[in-house]
Amino acid sequence: LTEKLQNVFKKLRSKGSLTEADVKLAMKEVKMALLEADVSFKIVKQFIKSVEGRAVGQDVLTGLNPGQMVIKIVNEELVSLMGSDTTEIALKEGKALTIIMMAGLQGAGKTTTAAKLAGKFKQKGKKVLLAACDVYRPAAIKQLQVNGEKQGVEVFSMGDKNSPVNIAKAAVEHALKNDINVLIIDTAGRLQVDEDMMNELIDIKKNVDVYQTILVVDAMTGQDAVNVSGTFNEKVGIDGVILTKLDGDTRGGAALSIKAVTGKPILYIGMGEKLSDLEQFYPDRMASRILGMGDVLTLIDKVSAEFDEEKAKELQQKIKKSSFGFDDYLEQMNQMKKMGGLSSILSMLPGVGSSQMSQIEAAMDNNKLNRIEAIILSMTPAERSDPNLLNVSRKRRIAAGAGVDISEVNRLVKQFNQARKMMKDMPQMMNGMQKGGKRG
Ligand code: GDP
Ligand code: MG
């Protein structure tokens, strides 16, 4: 995919504001990325349409090419669609009993997630009770008991001879008697969305004061997640979503589909079978995962945040005219330092070899930087702009001025010449970056 993107970047070279053609071209790849991530087809279409409208005519930020600018907008839109920020499960004030009902298909991860949540609330100092209302799946009650025990949380069960509603009602009574703060009701799922399952959940909601209905969705179900979450939300009504099995290699497009269809926040993500594997949902991380363009996004971030385009241009001009001198060298080093190490950016570019990287890194050593600065500042302006003036006697004078050995001055001159050679390749590299990198 990255390769495809790079091709797009190559094609997109116009500057100024984003044209319809720019946007259309980049959107083709965005569409592919979203479909590959298993975002529902319908949602992809809607999304593309709305972002296209927003993107056309926007200025291209300096330091970015139009393709990257489109990606930047797409990413922002994804993040805002998925909620911008993290969301917690709402609990009632103080010690009042909050009832949470788990909902979802069989195998989605309800029972596991119920126990994970129980642990989270317990850590926050809540007194938690789990209720076993899945009376169909063999061993479901036992599974909850085992998990509850692992978490040190009480499990309320009445075997499999009672109706889920009756168990739920009894669990609430038990909770109220025992000063429980959070009651989590584990329910039964079916392999597919079906009436019985919905009715059971609706029934529990009618008889018990459920404060939060949490839909648990297996992220690997991809396209299907839309129908499932849509139906649950319509029929039962949900308050939030937990997406499980994101430890797998799914890109997580379900997150976008579900949010788009239900409008309900994604609260947590399941990152494994262990009971500690429940993490906060971060829309920005998920957007990056769904787009599958992490490197490009990091690059865009860095470039738009730190890269001083004007100075870079000036520098490129100087290099072209071969007037790149020690002052520029120093300036360049300081800019690199400001950028948190150019190497971190360069490492993301195809075509930058590790030997070039280590040269740059060696030059970036802070201590050295100070000594280099001292040496350069001991030069006359003429010497700084024309390194060829540096004969032995001048070097000796400079060394004395900077308080270093003449060998260090020699080393700097050598380094500078190397750097200048490398800098000559830089415009090409930078161009490569702007075009999305050259293949190497
Ligand atoms: P339920 O039928 O909805 O109650 O689903 P379960 O809680 O029984 O989970 C079904 C299977 O998925 C079990 O083997 C769980 O260990 C597994 N599972 C649940 N959540 C996750 C997760 O976040 N990651 C992984 N890898 N497995 C999970
Ligand atoms: Mg279960």
Average pLDDT (27-51) is 93
Residue 137 has pLDDT above 80, yes or no: yes
Q: How far is the CA of 107 from the centre of ligand 2 (A)?
A: 7
Atom 26 (ligand 1): residue with closest C-alpha?
Answer: 272
Residues 396 and 411: their CA atoms lie apart, in Å, by: 13
423 and 312, same structural domain? Answer: yes
422 touches 351 (CB < 8 A): no
Domain for residue 207, yes or no?
Answer: yes
pLDDT bracket for residue 2 (50, 70, 90): very low
- Cα separations in angstroms, 345 against 217, 267, 426, 428, 432: 37, 33, 13, 15, 13
Residues 207 and 388: their CA atoms lie apart, in Å, by: 89
246 and 146, same structural domain? Answer: yes
Report the binding-site residues for GTP. Answer: 104-111, 186-190, 244-247
107 and 220, same structural domain? Answer: yes
As for how many domains the chain has, the answer is 3
Residues 183 and 268: their CA atoms lie apart, in Å, by: 18
Domain for residue 203, yes or no?
Answer: yes
388 and 340, same structural domain? Answer: yes
329 and 185, same structural domain? Answer: no
The C-alpha angle 46, 106, 79, rounded to 5 degrees, equals 30
Which atom belonging to ligand 1 lies closest to the Cα atom of 104? Answer: 3
Q: How far is the CA of 218 from the centre of ligand 1 (A)?
A: 8
H helix or E strand, kind and range, residue 392: helix 392-402
Average pLDDT (282-293) is 90
Domain for residue 28, yes or no?
Answer: yes
Atom 27 (ligand 1): residue with closest C-alpha?
Answer: 273
Greater model confidence, 238 or 343: 238
- Cα separations in angstroms, 416 against 77, 314, 354: 44, 18, 19
The confidence score (pLDDT) of residue 66 equals: 86
Residue 11 has pLDDT above 50, yes or no: no
56: Cα separation from own chain's centroid: 25
Average pLDDT (284-311) is 74
CATH number, residue 18? 1.20.120.140
Atom 6 (ligand 1): residue with closest C-alpha?
Answer: 109
pLDDT bracket for residue 437 (50, 70, 90): very low
Greater model confidence, 280 or 337: 280
Q: What dihedral do alpha carbons 129, 133, 135, 137 form, nearest 10°?
A: -80
Q: How far is the CA of 386 from the centre of ligand 1 (A)?
A: 68
Average pLDDT (401-429) is 78
The confidence score (pLDDT) of residue 78 equals: 94
365 and 269, same structural domain? Answer: no
Q: How far is the CA of 273 from the centre of ligand 2 (A)?
A: 13
Phi-psi region of 259 (alpha: psi -120 to 50; beta: other; left: phi over 0): alpha
CATH number, residue 141? 3.40.50.300
Give the residue numbers spanning the domain of 177: 98-281
Which atom belonging to ligand 1 lies closest to the Cα atom of 112? Answer: 7
The confidence score (pLDDT) of residue 1 equals: 46
111 and 226, same structural domain? Answer: yes
The confidence score (pLDDT) of residue 74 equals: 94
CATH number, residue 341? 1.10.260.30
* 3-state SS assignment for residue 274: coil
The confidence score (pLDDT) of residue 361 equals: 60
327 and 243, same structural domain? Answer: no
Mean pLDDT check: name the lowest of 141-145, 177-181, 311-315. Answer: 311-315
pLDDT bracket for residue 173 (50, 70, 90): very high
387 and 415, same structural domain? Answer: yes
Q: What percent of the chain has pLDDT over 70?
A: 79
> Which amino acid belongs to residue 390?
L
Residue ranges lining ligand 1, Cβ < 6 Å: 104, 106-112, 189, 216, 244-245, 247, 270-273, 277
The confidence score (pLDDT) of residue 282 equals: 93
The confidence score (pLDDT) of residue 308 equals: 56
Residue 440 has pLDDT above 80, yes or no: no
- Tens of pLDDT, residue by residue over 234-255, are 999 999 999 999 999 899 999 9
The complex's ipTM?
0.99
Domain for residue 67, yes or no?
Answer: yes
317 and 260, same structural domain? Answer: no
From 101, 106, 111, 112, give the residue whose CB has the most ligand 1 atoms within 8 Å, as the site to mutate: 112
325 and 202, same structural domain? Answer: no
Return the ligand number nearest the Cα of 115.
1
Mean pLDDT check: name the lowest of 27-36, 62-71, 346-355, 387-396. Answer: 346-355
- What is the bridge-based pairing of β-strands 266-270 and 154-156? unpaired
Domain final position from 30, 61, 84:
84
Q: What percent of the chain has pLDDT over 90?
A: 56
The confidence score (pLDDT) of residue 212 equals: 98
258 and 355, same structural domain? Answer: no
167 touches 135 (CB < 8 A): yes
From 116, 241, 244, give the residue whose CB has the most ligand 1 atoms within 8 Å, as the site to mutate: 244
Domain for residue 185, yes or no?
Answer: yes
Average pLDDT (36-52) is 93
Which atom belonging to ligand 1 lies closest to the Cα atom of 186? Answer: 4
Domain final position from 84, 106, 136:
84
Average pLDDT (116-127) is 96
The mean pLDDT value of the chain amounts to: 84
Mean pLDDT check: name the lowest of 41-50, 62-71, 144-153. Answer: 62-71
Q: How far is the CA of 406 from the centre of ligand 2 (A)?
A: 75
Residues 130 and 117: their CA atoms lie apart, in Å, by: 10
Greater model confidence, 412 or 368: 412
Average pLDDT (11-19) is 63
pLDDT bracket for residue 333 (50, 70, 90): confident
The confidence score (pLDDT) of residue 9 equals: 45
